[in-house]
Amino acid sequence: MAWSRFRKKKDMPEGLWVKCRSCNQTLYTKELLANLQVCHHCGFHAHQSARERAITLVDPRSFIEMWDDLYTQDLLDFVDKEPYPEKIRKTATRSGLTEGAVAGTGTIDGKPVTICCLDFSFMGGSMGAVVGEKVTRAIELAADERIPAIVVSCSGGARMHEGMLSLMQMGKTSAAIARLNREKGLYLSVLANPTTGGVMASFAALGDVIFAEPGALIGFAGPRVIQETLRTELPEGFQTAEFLREKGFIDRIVLRKDLRAEIGKVIDFLWAYPEEQIERYAPPPPPPEEEGPEGDDGVGENAESLATTAADGEDATPAESDEKAE
């Protein structure tokens, strides 16, 4: 019979395709990962996990994660729709992270730095005691080792589940930056989409040089909350990176693919390293078969290695930052 030639259509595996939230174009997940989570149709900078950011922002094979043994404790016995520990457990399973920040050391153009990246997929990148501790330790290590500190913020603010303990992290991180400044250190802040709430009101706004990704939502409360509270129309583009650059709050808006090179230029201009320090932090040389083509800056190599698997966790929308901010 003729119908016997037709077989049942196989189900499409999940996670192969994703739709751009800006232009609604359908994107192949592996291509999006290889392009650093930037839509190749409209240039929209989608959510990038903290580990992706850390690995692609520094030289290949140079990132060494630290303080991954820090875990959240429910000191307040907080219960929302479910107990706080259960919420942490579910979020950790979904995101593949134990907390909302990844920190460690690496090199940029062979120059050692400390780096800490927040992850919006982990409870909106909210800052609790562990996130605040990782940011603080990264900055303190920079002061002790006399190397620049880089923090990439992507957060809805302080974590309400930890109450006053989360608000205390604002003062703790700011104090660490003040110490770094007293010791003539260099602190670079990168603002991703979104950066709001207590994170924006503390360490994210204190960089010696402040970078931002295009179109990032940046502010204390979200624009919807401000508009409903003040009952007034806000200027076009209010609280975007472009709006704040015009007002002088942000130094540079940089495409994600260019961020490592731009940070490298700033470090070369503002910081000097002893030769011994550069040698001590140098990453191991690659095997001969892994060496890239001449002129390759390593961004493609890092991105391709991440593109071998789909990103873990759910991609939270910037609109959720209003709910996460204080």
β-bridge mates for residue 209, sequence order: 188
- pLDDT for the residue 319: 43
- Is residue 309 in a domain? no
- pLDDT for the residue 325: 42
What is the amino acid identity at position 269?
Answer: F
- Is residue 136 in a domain? yes
Query: The domain containing residue 68 runs over which residues?
Result: 48-284+316-324
Helix, strand, coil: what percent of the chain each, to 5?
40, 15, 40
Q: Is beta strand 26-28 parallel, antiparallel or unpaired with respect to 17-19?
A: antiparallel
- pLDDT for the residue 322: 44
β-bridge mates for residue 118, sequence order: 101
How many DSSP H helices and E strands does the chain contain? Answer: 12, 9
Q: Which residues contact 163 (CB under 8 A, 6 or more apart)?
A: 76, 78
- pLDDT for the residue 309: 40
- Is residue 226 in a domain? yes
β-bridge mates for residue 253, sequence order: 212
Q: Is beta strand 26-28 parallel, antiparallel or unpaired with respect to 64-66?
A: unpaired
- pLDDT for the residue 296: 53
- pLDDT for the residue 8: 56
Please calculate the CA angle 88-137-286 and round it to the nearest 5 degrees: 90
- Is residue 197 in a domain? yes
Give the tokens for residue 83: 């107990």
Identify the CATH number of the domain in which residue 117 sits: 3.90.226.10
Question: What's the pTM?
Answer: 0.84
Number of domains in the chain: 1
Q: How far apart are CA 321 and CA 326, in angstroms?
A: 10
- Is residue 14 in a domain? no
What is the amino acid identity at position 290?
Answer: E
- Is residue 99 in a domain? yes
| Omega before 223 within 30 of 0, i.e. cis | no
Residue 215 and residue 244 in contact, taking contact as beta carbons nearer than 8 Å: no
Q: Which residues contact 55 (CB under 8 A, 6 or more apart)?
A: 63, 302, 305, 306
Give the tokens for residue 117: 């990246």
Q: How far apart are CA 169 and CA 137, in angstroms?
A: 12
- Is residue 215 in a domain? yes
Could you state, in chain order, the average pLDDT of each consecutive group of 10 residues for the chain (326 residues)? 56 78 89 89 91 95 95 93 95 93 96 97 96 98 97 96 96 98 97 96 97 95 85 89 95 96 97 90 77 54 50 43 43
**Reduced to 3 states, what is the DSSP secondary structure of residue 108?**
strand
Q: Residue 181 half-sphere exposure, CB side, CA atoms within 13 Å?
A: 12
- Is residue 123 in a domain? yes
Q: What is the CB neighbour count within 10 angstroms for residue 84?
A: 21
